[in-house]
Amino acid sequence: MPAVIDKEKCNACGVCVKICPTDVYYGSKPKEIPVVMYPEECWHCNACVHDCPQDAIHLRIALNMQLVYKS
């Protein structure tokens, strides 16, 4: 399950697009709210969550992964 962006909080700064090690936001346009284009590539590394200055991103962790996921 990929990152979820809260459109109300997001100011389209692009930090998440730049910081993502797997380019799940590839193709997102500058100065627009990013779109998760490749959700299956998300590693759940929390890089976008931690670096978002607006706290507009959270991860949805699948139930079976929650048993082993460490935040």
Backbone angles phi, psi at 57, to 5 degrees: -120, 135
**What's at 2, amino acid-wise?**
P
Tokens standing for 35?
A: 């779109």
Structural domains of the chain sorted by starting position, each given as residue range(s) with its CATH number in brackets: 3-66 (3.30.70.20)
Spatial contact of 5 and 52, defined as CB atoms under 8 Å apart: no
Question: Is pLDDT larger for residue 18 or for residue 2?
Answer: 18
pLDDT value of residue 64 = 67
- 18-48 tens-digit pLDDT: 999 999 999 999 999 999 999 989 988 899 9
Tell me the pTM: 0.79
Tokens standing for 49?
A: 């969550």
Using the structure block, give the residue that is written with the tokens 């193709």. Answer: 27
**CA–CA gap between residue 17 and residue 25 (Å, rounded):** 6
